[in-house]
Amino acid sequence: GENVEQHPSTLSVQEGDSAVIKCTYSDSASNYFPWYKQELGKRPQLIIDIRSNVGEKKDQRIAVTLNKTAKHFSLHITETQPEDSAVYFCAASFSGNTPLVFGKGTRLSVIA
Amino acid sequence: NAGVTQTPKFQVLKTGQSMTLQCAQDMNHEYMSWYRQDPGMGLRLIHYSVGAGITDQGEVPNGYNVSRSTTEDFPLRLLSAAPSQTSVYFCASSVDSVMYFGPGTRLTVT
C-alpha cells in the first residue's frame, strides 16, 4: 500500500521568512496530494491540494509543487506569520474511493 | 450545512467497557472514514466506507467495528476498551478525494 514520508518533523522560522515542508510517496499510481493544517485542539483543515496533471499550484502565500518522476511534493509558505504556526500534514491517494494516507506531520513554529 | 459532526467531544472509559463514537454528515458524501491521531504518529486510518453497506479495514482496525447502514451515519464501536485506544478520533467524509474532518472525539481509557 501507499506510504508517505514527511520531513522535517519540526521547523522553526523567523517571521517573514519562508518555510518548506517535503513529502515523498511510494505508490506511483497516487494522483491526489493534499496538505492539511491543524491548529492546537482543532480538526485538520485542507489548505491546498494538487492533482497529478499539474506541477505547481499557488494560493496567495502558499504553494505546492509536485514531481511525479521523483515521487515527491512540497509545501512552500512565503512571508510567514505567527498565525502560520501549526502542525501541517501531507497526504496521498489514488482516487476518490481509496484511502488518504497521511505523513506524520510537521510542527511549524513562526517566531515573531 | 452542519458538515461532519461527531459525538461525544470527550469520553473517559474504564478498561473493558464498550462504547460507540457517533459520526454524521449532511453533504451526501459516499466516502467516509475514521482516523485516530496519536502524538508523533500522524493520522492513522482505522476503517473506511465507500457507500452504504460497504466497509473496509484500514491500517489499525483491531479492537474497532464499523457499520454503514445509511449514507449519513458511520459509527465506530469500541468492543472492549484498552488503554492503547486512548487517542483523538476523527471522522471524515469526502467527495472527489477532498476530505472534510469532524471536530474529533478525545477518548481516554483508564
Which grid coordinates are listed for A82?
505567527
What is the C-alpha to C-alpha distance for residues B64 and A109, in angstroms, rounded to an integer? 35
- For every one of its 110 residues, what pLDDT tens digit does chain B have, with 9 covering 90 and above? 789 999 999 999 999 999 999 999 999 999 999 999 998 888 999 999 999 999 999 999 999 999 999 999 999 999 999 999 999 999 999 998 899 999 999 999 99
pLDDT at A101: 94
Q: What is the largest CA-CA distance in chain B?
A: 39
What is the C-alpha to C-alpha distance for residues B77 and A104, in angstroms, rounded to an integer? 25
> What confidence tens digit (pLDDT) does each residue in A23-76 have?
999 999 999 999 999 999 999 999 999 998 889 999 999 999 999 999 999 999
What is the C-alpha to C-alpha distance for residues B52 and B55, in angstroms, rounded to an integer? 8
CB spacing of A46 vs B100 below 8 angstroms:
yes
Contact B85, B29 (CB under 8 A): no
Q: Under 8 Å CB-to-CB from B90, ≥6 apart: which residues?
A: A43, A44, B6, B34, B35, B36, B37, B43, B101, B102, B104
Question: Residue B31: closest CA among chain A residues belongs to which residue?
Answer: A97
Contact A74, A22 (CB under 8 A): yes
Chains A–B, number of C-beta pairs less than 8 Å apart: 52
Over range A75-92, report the average pLDDT: 98
pLDDT at A97: 74
Q: What is the CA radius of gyration of chain B?
A: 13
Is B31's Cβ below 8 Å from some Cβ in A?
Answer: yes
On the CB side of A86, how many CA atoms lie within 13 Å of its CA? Answer: 19
Is A58's Cβ below 8 Å from some Cβ in B?
Answer: no
Question: Residue A33: closest CA among chain B residues belongs to which residue?
Answer: B97
**pLDDT classification of A100: cutoffs 50, 70, 90:** very high
CB spacing of A103 vs B42 below 8 angstroms:
yes
What is the C-alpha to C-alpha distance for residues A77 and A56, in angstroms, rounded to an integer? 13
